[in-house]
Amino acid sequence: MKVTDRVYEKVGQVIGGLRLEMRADLSEGERRIVSAALYPFADTVSRKSTDAAWANDAIQRLILPTIQDRAVPAIRISPPQVRARETTPEGLASFYTQAVALISGGDGAIGSGALISSDGLILTAAHVVRAEPIQVSFPRSGNARKYVAKLVFVHDTHDVALLRLADYRSDRWFEVALSENATAGEPVIAIGNPSIGGGRTAPGAISSGIVAKPYDPSRSDGLIDLVADIAVASGSSGGPLVSRRSGKIVGVVTAVVSPSVSTDFATSGFWAVAAPSGELGKWLGLTYGP
């Protein structure tokens, strides 16, 4: 008996013991998904022309759950009391790098985040904080302490999240452009902690570029997020994309993509996909107020 056949047999024994409610209205697409999940090693050599009997039986009796996002909380934050005097890359970097967080997840993931309140609220990407415990430090602040962070809210669909540090206070934090989105050609900077090899990072690294494609929820090809023609690297995920016009966060870096040209934007190097700031009120419940 082949190894895969023994795996099928063992999995079949487990599946046979599940209490599954009968239904017969699965679409062909749903059947293929479930079949792939229950029979993951299928190939033309080891698999017969039909699924194993237990798999077909399970598919017919399976209830697929309805997946819904959790209710978004209401989180009020205050605008910063002091802001950068200059919105040049040098001015923004000098003022804000101490408010850029280095985030370490329990699974070994390293990412970045932005302090957006005086009492330790951090904006980051959801994929950076998949596993607890989550540790946060501010390597450019002069404070070497590592803080334990608690998850406040995670919006997996749009890859954004909020963390809270219970015992952290600061007089300097980022302002988020909650009421507007960046426009095409808007100059921006990214601040993060990119990996530089050998298990090392470059804390508070800054890069400069432009918005190549603004947020567009009407796109049908899936690329609806903000796209910036800006150099970022692994480890910068979750870091802020800051407008040089307003000095506010206009995006949260969620992915790094290779150079490419599309029908409506082009990039000169590795480019960033970012969650747009104007949607964070809806996705994370952020509002400014007392």
Bridge partners (DSSP) listed for residue 110: 104
The amino acid at residue 78 is S
Write down the pLDDT at residue 30.
Answer: 67
Query: Band of the pLDDT at 220, cuts 50, 70, 90?
Result: low
pLDDT of residue 64: 60
Cα dist from 66 to 25, 60, 69, 151, whole Å:
15, 17, 10, 24
Per the model's pLDDT, the better-predicted residue between 268 and 247 turns out to be: 247
pTM of the model: 0.75
Tell me which H or E stretch contains 113: strand 110-115
Report the 10 Å Cβ neighbour count for 48.
7
Confidence class for position 44, pLDDT limits 50, 70, 90: very low
Distance in angstroms (rounded) separating the CA atoms of residues 126 and 163: 10
Amino acid at 55: A
121-124 and 205-213 strand pairing? unpaired
Distance CA 112, CA 110 (A): 7
Q: Where are the beta strands (DSSP E) in the chain?
A: 75-77, 100-104, 110-115, 121-124, 134-138, 143-155, 160-165, 187-192, 195-197, 200-201, 205-213, 226-229, 240-243, 249-257, 271-276, 286-288
Cβ atoms of 185 and 211 closer than 8 Å: yes
What contacts 12, CB < 8 A, 6 or more positions away? 52, 54, 55
Structure-token match 């997946």, residue found: 67
Give the pLDDT of residue 67: 57
Nearest to 101 by CA among 197, 256, 240: 240
Whether 217 has a pLDDT exceeding 70, the answer reads yes
pLDDT at 48: 46
Give the whole-angstrom CA distance, residue 133 versus residue 155.
Answer: 19
- The whole-number average pLDDT for the span 129-133 is 90
Alpha-helical runs (H) found in the chain: 3-16, 28-38, 53-61, 89-96, 280-284
